[in-house]
Amino acid sequence: MPRWALYGAQTARAVENYAISGERAAPALIAAYGWLKWAMAQANRDFDLLPEKVAGAIAAAAREVAEHQLDEHFPVDVFQAGAGVSLHMNVNEVVANRAHELLGGQRGHYEFVHPNDHVNRGQSTNDTFPTALRVALRMELDALLPVLQHCQRAFAAKGRQFDRIVKAGRTHLQDAVPLRLGQEFAAYATALGAARAEIARAADVLLELGLGGSAAGTGLNTDPRVAPRALRYLRQATGHRWRQAHDLCAAMQSQFPIAMASAALRNLALELIRICNDLRLLASGPMTGLREIELPALQPGSSIMPGKVNPVMPEMLTMVAFQVVGNDAATALAVQAGQLELNVMMPAMAYATLRSGRLFTAAIAAFTKHCVIGIRARPERCAAYAQSTMALATALTPALGYSRTAKLVQQSLNTGRPVLDLALEQNLLPEPQLRELLDPARAAGNARAPATGARAGLRGPRDAPAAKRAANSPRAVSAGRRSRAPAPNKS
């Protein structure tokens, strides 16, 4: 164990035993554990369960953990002992050693502050790890939601910008009736709004915590007053309305809130994959593809073909979304793997879900900035496809019937002549009526791009207004950056 290390023997054994992936706990999880130990120390002090000086030192040390000042002292691999015991003891040892220093002691000597007796007073891995995981995941979602909202609004803006551009629709990758390019892009915004609303609902479910359950949810060796007081401190620090689970045994057994959040991220991934696939098709070409839109040229030229411009941002986001889908599969398996009073697979859930949130926050921000905002339409190309689609003839079926219209379409395909010319030649309907029915703009309908706002899924989670979350949430929890959280009020 290095002399500079603030961790102790249990952490050192974990590092030796679990040299697996080389990846350490997510910064969000470390920070969440720091806030949890900070809150518990003050709650224990309030009820005279810890001496004032000891509790103050523990709270100060734990706050340094929460603010990412001690991240280098958390070397435990993400794949470790079940339930997260190794990471929990890593936290206890770091906080104890740092608190000991603050009281004038030396690292590795626990006469003033002990990892188990003081830092972990009234706590267990059984209740603190799932609590820290839910806090961390909520903070990751807090960082993701405004980024996703920005992407949604960017697509909605393109929907309004492109609203007068008529193009050919495509179903089964075959010609379909015309629609407006703006309708297509507005629909992307609507889909992202629905995904965002689902994530916001899952984020609210994470607010219920099992803190105070101790071992197996029984509350053994705890003072029932402490956890509610600690949650009050946690609310002050983060701006979220954390609440104690009404059934602490259930909070140990079931990790349904984690599964719900992971599934919401997976569903967002599925929508993003679909949208990115569309963008790549719409921008395909430039000479032999659809080329109805142009994506920003970020990296012109391939390794062998000069001047070739690839759709790199949709490609990047698609690969990130694939990873998120895989992370959800791992989370689902971990959530169902709990036995009896505890699910010991929580470290796997933490690794997968926190990684998904972190990846999406960065990837969607880059995608919006470097791709969506700069998308341009090619109206002439869109109009040419709209005029040439055979599906325009669908507008004739009320007047001519399905069978007669189908014959007309087949004649057009066989001869290469436009449907309008053939219909005029055969005097099927008066010319003004034919021209009106076969007008692509008419076929595209009159619907306009939907307005953005609360009804479009732009509102944040219900527990706090967006401005309050931005002001009060310790952003370092979700983004892994060093930052100062607002000083909590004493209660």
Tokens of 464: 């706090």
Count of other CB atoms within 10 angstroms of residue 274: 14
Closest by CA position to 134, among listed 221, 210, 57 = 210
Task: Name the packing angle between helices 125-161 and 85-102 (round to 10°).
Answer: 100
Contacting residues for 123 by C-beta, under 8 A, at least 6 apart: 40, 214, 222
Residue linked to tokens 């791009």: 449
Closest by CA position to 207, among listed 124, 141, 125, 144 = 141
Closest by CA position to 101, among listed 57, 59, 70 = 57
Please state, in angstroms and rounded to a whole number, the distance separating the CA atoms of residues 187 and 209. 37
* Residue 483 is a catalytic residue: no
10 Å CB burial of residue 345 (0-12, 13-18, 19+) is buried
Please state, in angstroms and rounded to a whole number, the distance separating the CA atoms of residues 232 and 243. 9
Please state, in angstroms and rounded to a whole number, the distance separating the CA atoms of residues 86 and 75. 10
Q: Which residue is catalytic, options 21, 214, 302, 483?
A: 302
| End-to-end CA, the chain | 40
Please state, in angstroms and rounded to a whole number, the distance separating the CA atoms of residues 348 and 337. 11
Question: Which amino acids are annotated catalytic?
Answer: 302
